[in-house]
Every structure is written in structure tokens, then in C-alpha cells.
């Protein structure tokens, strides 16, 4: 995903994102509706107070009636108490409804991330995804729980206030309405100016997170190569961009956020002059003038808040667009249409004229055809970049061929149900990912309900049980982030145990000995003979040691199969395979 994609996507979604956010409240409609009603009542109790002040002055104080003044004072007190009750209860209800809505939105986003194909992860930075699911979701929470409440409250307060002002004085109301129109225009201009800047702020926040995630994840390499200064410089550049965008957004907010105060101040001066002359002329009462000034003071914050709310809506739209982009671009189902199950898998693998390229358009595989009968052991070798690992990923259906097809027991790989496929085919990558959990949990990832007996059995087959048993906490030992406390060989064997727990018919191993020392490599090669029993096994490796149990050896160069046969047959040809063995001093 390009750096420019996110702002563009947010423009595409626009304010329909707000309606879509609100749709997540449908499961909390009674609570949400009750909160809105209470917020409207809160606005009403605030808007009625200036009217009560007017009556207290005109009917009580001006007439010398202490009882009337006390009566209206008590009404004002009652309105204030009700306002507090409505405010507290409405806020609680709205926060509960909004938190549940964003909870469901986060679940949808995370579920969509899991459904995405590998191409999505190839072009999307991890930091961007984390920023979307955390920061963007938090932005939406703030909108639903606070900004939406202020939007409803401010709108109704201004509307109710305008109604009461109009009933008291048309001329002063025209001044007030002109003030509201000017302030709303300022707010509209502010929204137009701040929207693209906040798009950039949100995107750049994700970029900073992406750079940080990458640098911290690769901290070993950073320290080994002494890259601290150069990578700090890169982080500094990205952080400076975020700083510049944030300062620009703050500058716009400061200017347009404070202009309404100036306008309101000028308006109140005008109302005071016009009202004062009207009082002197007997056309207006003191209570009405005080009520108008109170209304202008009461509306100062809501009018200013509307500007911030409009600006925040722009940021919320941008945040929502980024989240909905994940949800909308994810496949609706991980299983293909008319998916089939393989009840009694045999482990027959057939690759027919498969061509594949990543998004750069360069062919990684070019017309590859291959047949691996059930139970056969195949070693795929060849120079780096020849397409060996990509072929394994296609057989594991991490990617889909551009053309051609892959068959498992005669069934097109694209038609097999995902749950069936993951039970039949186990893929162990060159660098298996070990989670920061216990060894037991890492082995049981694909089968969380596995008994400890099943886990131990898989660990014994993978020849890792003795090591685990020697640890103080045994299978409950926490291995650290990415299995940092384990050696490369131990991580490989835990990944093997994880794969074997499901007893797959087809086992795909991507260079399982690449990170091992000579002695550990020799042990693993011997152990693989036992692991391979009754399974179809396809291993990718440039190391000649794995040839000892291969029924067939395939040599790939530039995305094509250039040689195929047994070890003895290929040695006699003295072709690519012979050259590979010669480079390892093992072509005798």
C-alpha cells in the first residue's frame, strides 16, 4: 500500500463513514436513544435558565417581589440540578454504547486483517495496521462518547435558545442569528482547511509507528551493524514530518478556534448597545437584555465546540476510512465457493504449468509442473531466487497461481476448504515464528484443545521433548518474543512439533537446516527420516545433506525446473545438481 493511499481512501469514504460508525450502535439502540433524549433534555434545561433569569428580574426584582424572586431562583436551581442529572446519566449511557460499538468495530477490523491474503501484508506496513486498530479506533471512541454528545447538545441548545430569543426580541435575535451565521461560516472554513492536514497527521502517525516497529523488531541487526545513527536519522525525518503536520494543524485550530470568541465579544457589545437604548426608550426590559447576554454567554462554548467537533469529525472520517478500508478489502470468506473436504487424504501433490509473480510483475515461477505421489520425499534445490520457497508457499495456498493449477489428491487446491487444507498440509517456514507464550501453547497453536499427551507425542516425534523436559517449568516455559530464549534448531523443532500435532499427510519444510550448525544439522536430518514416515514431504534446501532420504531431487533455476531425478541419476548427468554438490565439496 503506497504512502498516498490512505488520505485518498479517506476522501473516498467521506461522511458516509460517520453513518457507518453510527450503524455499530444498532445493538445498543435503546441505550443510545435514551442517551440522546437525556442530552436534549440537558440542552433544554440549560436553554430555559436565561428565561427564568428574565422573569426573576422583570417579575420579581424589578417589581420588588421577594417571593417571586425566590420562586424563580428555586426554579433556576431545579433546572441546574436536572441539568446535572441529565448530563451524568446521558454521558454514562452514551459511553457504554460507544465503547461497545468500537469494541465490535475493532473485532471486525482484526477479523478482516486475519482474512487478508498475503499480497495485502506484502504491501502494508505492520505499524500502519497497528495504528489503525489502536489509534484510529480510539479516535472513533472519542467521537462517539464525547464529540457526538457535544454535537447534539450544542445544536439543540442553539436551536432552543434561538426560539426563546425570538419570542423576546426580534431585533436582538437578528443580531444573535447573524453572529451564529458568522461563527458557523468560520467553522465551515476551518473544517475545509483542517481536513487534509489531519489526514496527513493520521497517516504520518502510522508511518512513525511503522518505522518504530521495524527498527525495534530488528534491534539485533541494528546493533550488530552499528546502524543506530543512520536509523535514528530516518526515524527523526519521519518524526519531523509528523511534528510539522501537527504544528500546522494546531496553527489552523488556534486561529479558527479563537475567532468565534472575537465575534461573540463584538456581538455582545452590539446587543448591549442596542438593548441599552431600547431599555432607555422603554421598548425593552432589563430582564430581556440580561437574558440575551446570558444566552450569548451560554452559546459561546457550544458555538466554539461546534468548530472543534467539525474538525474532529474530519479526523474521525479519516480514521474510520482507514479502518473500513481494511474491512472492505478483506475477502468475505476464507473458503472458496463450493469448497470441498477431503475425507481420506492420500497426500498426492500435482503442480500443472504454474506461473506466478509478485506485484512487481517479474515472474518468480514460469510454467512449473511437478508430480509428487503419496508418501514420496522430494528435495527441491537450486540457487537463491530460483522460486523454491515460493513454490512451497503456493502448495500451502499462501498465494494463488497467476495461471496453472495445483491439485491435492486430484482436487484443485483452490476448491479445498481451508480447515481441511490446514489439517492435510503443514508448512514450516525457514524462520518459524514463535510467540511470547509457553512452549505448550506454541506447539498447540493449531489445535488449542490438544491434550498434554498429544503435545508431548508431537514433541517427541520432533525430537524436542527431552530439551523441554529439562527446563525448570517444562512445557509451561515462556520462550520470549519470537522465541528469543531458544536456539535456531530449537525453534525449528518446536515449529515441527506444531506442524506434526495435526498429523498432516503433506509436510512442507523450507530450508530447515539453514540456521543449524553441522552437528545439529546432522541430527535433524536423521530425525527427519522418522518424521517423514507415511507422509508426503517436500523440502526446500541448498544443503546437500538432505538428499539422503529424498526419493526425488528437483533442481530449479530462474523459476523453472531444469533437472529432476534421483541423486544417482543427476550425478551422472553432471549438470546443475552436480555443480551444487561440487560447490559444497560433495560431488564424489
Give domain limits for the chain. 15-329, 349-433+502-583
Burial of 150-182, coded b for 16+ CB within 10 Å and e otherwise, reads: bbbbbbbbbebbbebbeebbeebbebbeebbeb
pLDDT of residue 487: 77
Mean pLDDT computed over every residue of the chain? 83
Whole-number pLDDT of residue 516? 63
Residue 35: the pLDDT is: 92
pLDDT (0 to 100) of residue 1: 38
Which SS3 state, helix, strand or coil, does residue 439 take?
helix
Instruction: Round to whole Å and give the CA distance between 201 and 199.
Output: 5
Say yes or no to pLDDT of 523 above 80.
Answer: no
Residue 24 pLDDT: 84
> Which helix (DSSP H) or strand (DSSP E) does residue 141 occupy?
helix 137-142
CA-nearest of 447, 437, 438 to 498 is 447
Report the pLDDT averaged over residues 471-491.
Answer: 80
CA dist., res. 116 & res. 525, Å (int): 35
Helix (H, G, I), strand (E, B) or coil at 153: helix
Higher pLDDT, 583 or 404: 404
Comparing 161 with 485, the larger pLDDT belongs to 161
**Model confidence at 517: pLDDT above 70:** no
User: CATH second-level architecture of 15-329?
Assistant: Up-down Bundle (1.20)
Residue 4 pLDDT greater than 50, yes or no:
no
* Half-sphere exposure in the Cβ direction for 259 (13 Å, CA): 19
Q: What is the per-residue pLDDT across 382-433, written as a single tens digit (0 to 9) for each? A: 888 888 889 999 998 888 898 999 999 989 988 888 888 888 888 888 778 8
Closest CA to 488 of 532, 426, 528, 432: 432
In this predicted structure, what is the pLDDT of residue 351?
A: 93
Per-residue pLDDT at 338 exceeds 70: yes
Q: Is the dihedral angle over the CA atoms 226, 230, 231, 233 positive or is it negative?
A: positive
Residue 11's pLDDT band, with cuts at 50, 70 and 90, is: very low
Q: How many other CB atoms are found less than 10 A from the CB of residue 491?
A: 22
Structure-model confidence comparison of residues 191 and 110, the more confident one = 110
pLDDT of res. 9: 43
pLDDT band at 8 (very low <50, low <70, confident <90, very high): very low
Q: Which residues pair with 574 in a beta bridge?
A: none
pLDDT at position 282 over 50: yes
pLDDT grade, residue 587 (50/70/90)?
Answer: low
pLDDT (0 to 100) of residue 75? 95
Higher pLDDT, 320 or 538: 538
For the chain, give the percent of residues with pLDDT over 70: 90
CA 379/CA 475 separation, integer angstroms: 32
Res. 10 pLDDT band, cuts 50 70 90:
very low
* Segment holding 401, helix H or strand E: none
The count of other CB atoms within 10 Å of the CB of residue 224 is 9
- Go through 18-55 and write b for each residue having 16 or more CB atoms within 10 A of its CB, e for each that does not: bebbeebbeebeebbebbbebbbbbbbbbbbbbbbbbb
pLDDT in tens, 66-80: 999 999 999 999 999
Element containing residue 404 per DSSP (H, E): strand 403-408
Q: Is the pLDDT of residue 274 over 50?
A: yes
Sheet with 377-381: list strands edge to edge: 425-428, 506-510, 536-540, 377-381, 552-557, 560-565
Lowest mean pLDDT among 41-55, 184-198, 423-437: 184-198
Non-local CB neighbours of 126 within 8 Å, separated by 6+ positions: 210, 213, 214
What's the CATH number for 349-433+502-583?
Answer: 3.40.50.300
Compute the average pLDDT of residues 8-25.
67
Q: Could you tell me the strand order of the sheet in which 411-412 lies?
A: 363-372, 349-357, 403-408, 411-412
Say whether pLDDT at 127 is over 70: no
Those residues with Cβ within 8 angstroms of residue 222's Cβ, 6 or more apart along the chain or in another chain: 215, 228, 231
**pLDDT grade for 236, boundaries at 50, 70 and 90:** confident
Kindly state the average pLDDT of the residues 284-301.
Answer: 88
Mean pLDDT of 22-30: 84
At a CB cut-off of 8 Å and minimum separation 6, what does 229 contact?
Answer: none
The predicted pLDDT at position 12 comes to 45
361 close to 81: Cβ distance less than 8 angstroms: no
Average pLDDT over residues 220-236: 75
Closest alpha carbon to 507 in 353, 330, 379, 318:
379
Instruction: Please tell me the predicted confidence (pLDDT) of residue 3.
Output: 39
The pLDDT score that the predictor gives to residue 233 is 83
Q: Where are the alpha helices (DSSP H) in 340-395?
A: 388-395
Distance between CA 588 and CA 584 in Å, rounded?
Answer: 11
Amino acid at each position: 500500500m503506497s504512502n498516498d493511499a490512505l488520505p485518498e481512501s479517506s476522501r473516498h469514504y467521506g461522511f458516509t463513514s460517520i453513518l457507518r460508525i453510527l450503524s455499530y450502535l444498532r445493538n445498543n439502540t435503546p441505550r443510545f436513544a435514551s442517551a440522546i433524549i437525556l442530552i436534549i433534555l440537558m440542552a433544554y434545561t440549560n436553554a430555559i435558565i436565561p428565561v427564568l433569569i428574565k422573569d426573576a428580574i422583570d417579575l420579581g426584582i424589578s417589581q420588588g417581589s421577594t417571593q417571586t424572586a425566590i420562586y424563580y431562583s428555586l426554579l433556576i436551581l431545579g433546572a441546574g440540578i436536572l441539568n446535572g442529572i441529565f448530563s451524568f446519566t446521558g454521558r454514562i449511557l452514551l459511553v457504554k454504547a460507544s465503547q461497545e460499538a468500537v469494541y465490535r468495530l475493532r473485532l471486525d477490523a482484526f477479523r478482516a486483517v486475519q482474512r487478508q491474503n498475503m499480497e495485502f501484508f506484502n504491501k502494508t506496513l505492520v505499524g500502519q495496521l497497528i495504528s489503525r486498530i489502536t489509534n484510529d479506533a480510539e479516535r472513533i471512541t472519542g467521537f462517539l462518547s464525547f464529540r457526538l454528545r457535544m454535537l447534539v447538545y450544542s445544536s439543540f441548545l442553539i436551536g432552543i435558545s434561538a426560539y426563546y430569543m425570538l419570542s423576546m426580541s426580534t431585533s436582538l435575535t437578528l443580531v444573535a442569528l447573524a453572529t451564529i451565521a458568522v461563527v458557523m461560516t468560520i467553522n465551515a472554513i476551518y473544517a475545509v482547511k483542517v481536513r487534509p492536514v489531519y489526514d496527513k497527521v493520521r497517516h504520518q502517525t502510522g508511518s512513525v509507528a511503522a518505522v518504530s516497529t521495524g527498527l525495534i523488531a530488528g534491534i539485533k541487526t541494528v546493533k550488530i551493524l552499528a546502524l543506530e545513527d543512520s536509523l535514528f536519522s530516518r526515524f527523526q525525518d519521519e518524526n519531523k514530518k509528523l511534528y510539522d503536520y501537527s504544528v500546522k494543524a494546531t496553527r489552523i485550530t488556534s486561529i479558527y478556534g479563537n475567532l468565534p470568541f472575537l465575534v461573540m465579544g463584538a456581538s455582545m457589545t452590539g446587543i448591549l448597545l442596542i438593548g441599552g437604548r431600547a431599555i432607555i426608550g422603554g421598548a425593552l426590559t432589563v430582564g430581556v437584555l440580561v437574558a440575551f447576554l446570558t444566552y450569548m454567554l451560554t452559546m459561546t462554548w457550544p458555538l466554539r465546540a461546534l468548530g472543534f467537533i467539525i474538525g474532529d469529525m474530519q479526523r474521525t472520517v479519516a480514521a474510520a476510512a482507514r479502518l473500513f478500508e481494511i474491512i472492505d478489502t478483506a475477502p468475505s470468506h476464507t473458503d472458496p465457493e463450493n469448497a470441498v473436504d477431503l475425507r481420506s487424504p492420500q497426500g498426492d501433490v500435482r503442480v500443472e504449468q504454474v506461473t506466478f509473480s509478485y506485484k512487481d510483475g517479474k515472474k518468480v515461477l514460469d510454467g512449473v509442473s511437478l508430480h509428487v505421489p503419496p508418501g514420496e520425499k522430494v528435495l527441491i534445490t537450486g540457487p537463491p531466487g530460483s522460486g523454491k520457497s515460493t513454490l512451497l508457499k503456493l502448495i500451502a495456498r499462501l498465494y494463488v497461481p497467476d495461471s496453472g493449477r495445483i491439485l491435492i489428491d486430484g482436487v484443485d487446491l483452490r476448491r479445498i476448504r481451508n480447515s481441511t487444507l490446514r489439517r492435510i498440509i503443514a508448512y514450516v517456514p525457514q524462520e518459524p515464528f514463535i510467540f511470547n507464550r509457553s512452549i505448550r501453547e506454541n506447539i498447540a497453536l493449531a489445535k488449542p484443545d490438544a491434550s498434554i499427551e498429544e503435545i508431548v507425542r508431537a514433541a517427541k516425534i520432533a525430537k524436542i521433548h527431552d530439551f523441554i523436559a529439562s527446563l525448570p517449568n517444562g512445557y509451561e516455559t515462556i520462550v520470549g518474543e519470537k522465541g528469543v530464549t531458544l536456539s535456531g534448531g530449537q525453534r525449528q523443532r518446536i515449529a515441527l512439533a506444531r506442524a506434526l500435532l495435526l498429523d498432516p499427510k503433506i509436510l512442507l519444510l523450507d530450508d530447515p537446516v539453514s540456521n543449524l550448525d553441522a552437528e545439529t544439522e546432522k541430527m535433524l536430518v536423521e530425525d527427519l527420516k522418522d518424521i517423514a514416515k507415511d507422509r508426503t514431504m517436500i523440502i526446500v534446501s541448498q544443503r546437500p545433506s538432505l538428499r539422503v532420504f529424498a526419493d526425488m531431487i528437483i533442481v530449479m533455476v530462474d523459476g523453472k525446473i531444469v533437472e529432476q531425478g534421483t541423486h544417482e541419476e543427476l550425478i551422472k548427468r553432471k549438470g546443475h545438481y552436480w555443480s551444487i554438490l561440487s560447490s559444497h565439496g560433495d560431488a564424489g
